[in-house]
Amino acid sequence: MKRQFLGAMAVSVMALCLSFAAEAKSTLVYCSEASPEGFSPQLYDTGTTLDVVRPVYNRLVEFKFGTTEIMPSLAESWEISDDGLTYTFHLRKDVKFHSSKAFKPTRGVTADDVVQSYDRMMNKQNPYSGVSGGAYVYFEGMGMPDTMKSVEKVDEHTEDHAEQSGSAVPG
């Protein structure tokens, strides 16, 4: 009886979310168990925030649902050097930025954007490092400042991540 009730509640909540989404058309509607702290995966690291931003932001790679198998996302392919210290990511060429009233992108995503995203978290001298307080909780909590040595552009759609020691999962 409890399972049927919970199942019915879940279906009702999903139907309600879908009806809101159908009405919104240009607005992302996401139903969650709690309110996210914000909508920037660089600044917050709770499950609620990471769940809500997942449909909005792409990562270089993703985990195949329910596994630890790594699959392509922004990076369509990658190589890892023999010593395990350098990851070379080849970016998809058809990726576009979201647009809004305040932001009208004129180009697609390139290696420069990936390098900038990492540099702002790794380099306190980056002019955008201090935006929103400059604390990159998830990046820092994963030990990335101690693991990553550099992120460099190879060409418009290729970039290298050099590790300081050991090997890390790309992403």
Question: Residue 76 has what pLDDT?
Answer: 94
Each residue of 128-147: pLDDT tens digit? 998 878 788 888 888 988 99
Written as one letter, the residue type at 169 is: V
Between 115 and 171, the higher pLDDT residue: 115
Each residue of 11-29: pLDDT tens digit? 334 444 444 444 545 676 7
**Is the pLDDT reported for residue 72 higher than 70?**
yes
- Per-residue confidence band for 50, with pLDDT thresholds at 50, 70 and 90: confident
Contact 78, 88 (CB under 8 A): yes
Mean pLDDT rounded to a whole number for the chain: 79
Question: Residue 25 has what pLDDT?
Answer: 57
- Per-residue confidence band for 96, with pLDDT thresholds at 50, 70 and 90: confident
Q: Cβ neighbours of residue 156 under 8 Å, at least 6 residues apart?
A: 110, 111, 112
Contact 86, 95 (CB under 8 A): no
C-alpha–C-alpha distance, residues 171 and 168, integer Å: 9
Return the closest-CA partner of residue 171 out of 71, 102, 84, 83. Answer: 71
